[in-house]
Amino acid sequence: MASTLTMHPDRLFSSNKIERDIARNLYQHVEKLPIVSPHGHTDPAWFAENKNFSNPTELLIHPDHYVFRMLYSQGVDLDQLGIPRKDGSHANADPEKAWQIFADHYHLFQGTPSRIWLDYVFVNTFNITEKLNSSTASHYYQVINDALQTEAFKPRSLFDRYNIEVIATTECATDNLKHHQKIKNSDWSGKVITAFRPDAVVDPEHEKFNAKLVQLSELTNLDCQEYSQYLDALRQRRLFFKEMGATSTDHGHPTAATANLSDEQASVLFQKVQDTPTADDAELFRAHMLVKMAEMSLDDGLVMQIHPGSHRNHNQQLFAHYGRDKGADIPANTEYVNALKPLLSKFGNNTDLSIILFTLDETVYSRELAPLAGHYPSLKLGPAWWFHDSPEGMMRFRRSVTETAGFYNTVGFNDDTRAFLSIPARHDVARRMDCTYLAELVARHMLDESEAVTLAKDLAYNLAKEAYKL
């Protein structure tokens, strides 16, 4: 007999009754608020084309590197799951067999946020009442697959059902944004915007750097091998992204390093990094371009997100076969105080600039990030990110930064996911954990409950809208 799958109404709240009762009351004020998803990686083609998703494996496994990195860690070959290869080809994996493999290994996710998110999807989106395991895999696949063939489970229908107010996707600086254009020209009321990610055209160590410069030249009719025209091309693309709804940029550099070079120095360096740059050359150019991006944000008003500190493609064998974003990125030590000083010395006191800082290095929360954001008017702190957007990770973040930066130097929550159906689950976890933290402060008489209600609403909804200019 299959075990019953349920979502406990008090999940994630404190085991302390006083705090749990307070958290439950706070949660009632935020549970049904619209979802603001100001940063993420869902595919805009889903919403532009509004086609039915093909099958459960394509929808719930292929976009979610949290899922297949865990399976890979236990010896599951990504070809068995049908994960696309770097050259665009696929192993001819049967999607139902891939789903069976996933179900056979579902116990691996016990204790992880992925388990919470996936169970939420199974219960609340598909109304499944049995736990996923080897014996229920076929039932799951059939129920989900049948649902996906209906109008109610098309991307736009789910967007509306989930009460999503806005989703921001993230595109390369050279993307033609055809899907956003199609959405913009449609009669659908859903708001799907883009965000400008220039990494491939500012990082000389990116494998496509020179090819992307050529593409940038073609798109802008400028010579992007020449420094001043290269900058003009970036300004032009930023404005195009704004026309397609962008309110933010996103910078995924290896470090938080910034540098102020003269135009002459930068021009010489730019020529050098197009040829055979050293690692130091590449780092200096990225650092300089982060300052130039801040300068451009002052001109065009785009909010700047800095996501440093991920050792990308740590598994080079996997990268060679499958490419980027396949679960092989690893957190690295990241320094901010000295790294950001050139940028902050130039622009940090400017109230017209908005920079949101993220980290994968939890050791810097209280030592570096909270003091920086608690001082410079241009800085805010992004929520617990990636490996730390978990119940305990969210609590560690709040406990580490609040005493120095407060709540209003943070920006609420963003889900930062490729896994569309997990978005409501991720926001639900964030809302529950913020209510849990606030309930603790109320129980300790550090906040009035009325103040906590206001804070809960701000953390769940208002701060993200304000920080991202939505």
39 & 120 share domain: no
296 & 217 share domain: yes
- By DSSP bridging, strand 192-193 and strand 164-168 are parallel
- SS3 state of residue 319: helix
Two tokens, residue 391: 């119940």
Q: From first to last of the 470 residues of the chain, give the pLDDT tens digit.
A: 569 999 999 999 999 999 999 999 999 999 999 999 999 999 999 999 999 999 999 999 999 999 999 999 999 999 999 988 888 777 778 999 999 999 999 999 999 999 999 999 999 999 999 999 999 999 999 999 999 999 999 999 999 999 999 999 999 999 999 999 999 999 999 999 999 999 999 999 999 999 999 999 999 999 999 999 999 999 999 999 999 999 999 999 999 999 999 999 999 999 999 998 999 999 999 999 999 999 999 999 999 999 999 999 999 998 888 888 888 899 999 999 999 999 999 999 999 999 999 999 999 999 999 999 999 999 999 999 999 999 999 999 999 999 999 999 999 999 999 999 999 999 999 999 999 999 999 999 999 999 999 999 999 999 999 999 99
Of the residues 151, 180, 203, which one is the last residue of a structural domain?
Answer: 151
DSSP state of 154: S
76 & 33 share domain: no
Token pair 């490419």 is at which residue?
323
316 & 445 share domain: yes
- Domain, as residue range, for 327: 17-51+152-468
Q: Is residue 7 part of a domain?
A: no
- SS3 state of residue 164: strand
385: nearest Cα among 411, 356, 420, 415? 415
396 & 419 share domain: yes
- CA–CA gap between residue 448 and residue 385 (Å, rounded): 29
Of the residues 104, 133, 151, which one is the last residue of a structural domain?
Answer: 151
Q: Find out whether 29 and 408 touch, Cβ atoms under 8 Å.
A: no
What is the dihedral angle through the alpha carbons of 214, 220, 225, 226, rounded to the nearest 10 degrees? 180
User: Residue 438, CB half-sphere, CA atoms under 13 Å: how many?
Assistant: 29
104 & 243 share domain: no
For position 1, what pLDDT does the model report?
54
What's 425's domain CATH number?
3.20.20.140
65 & 188 share domain: no
138 & 168 share domain: no
Strands (E), 345-428: 355-357, 379-381
Of the residues 151, 178, 198, which one is the last residue of a structural domain?
Answer: 151
* Chain segment 63-99, per-residue pLDDT in tens: 999 999 999 999 999 999 998 888 877 777 899 999 9
Q: Roughly what angle, to the nearest 10 degrees, separates helices 227-243 and 263-273?
A: 90
Q: Is residue 60 part of a domain?
A: yes
* Chain segment 258-307, per-residue pLDDT in tens: 999 999 999 999 999 999 899 999 999 999 999 999 999 999 999 999 99
124 & 169 share domain: no
Number of domains in the chain: 2
What's 59's domain CATH number?
1.10.2020.10
34 & 127 share domain: no
287 & 332 share domain: yes
Q: Find out whether 438 and 23 touch, Cβ atoms under 8 Å.
A: yes
* Chain segment 408-426, per-residue pLDDT in tens: 999 999 999 999 999 999 9
| Beta partners for residue 306, in sequence order | 251, 357
Q: Is residue 177 part of a domain?
A: yes
Q: Find out whether 425 and 126 touch, Cβ atoms under 8 Å.
A: no
Q: Is residue 12 part of a domain?
A: no
351 & 450 share domain: yes
CB neighbourhood size of 222 (10 A):
18
Q: Write the burial class of residue 291 (CB in 10 Å: 0-12 exposed, 13-18 middle, 19+ buried).
A: buried
Q: Is residue 5 part of a domain?
A: no
- SS3 state of residue 458: helix
- CA–CA gap between residue 399 and residue 413 (Å, rounded): 16
For position 382, what pLDDT does the model report?
99
Q: Is residue 1 part of a domain?
A: no
Strands (E), 128-259: 164-168, 171-172, 192-193, 196-197, 248-251
Q: Is residue 86 part of a domain?
A: yes
In this prediction the pTM is: 0.97
Q: Is residue 2 part of a domain?
A: no
For position 126, what pLDDT does the model report?
98
301: nearest Cα among 232, 345, 249, 256? 249
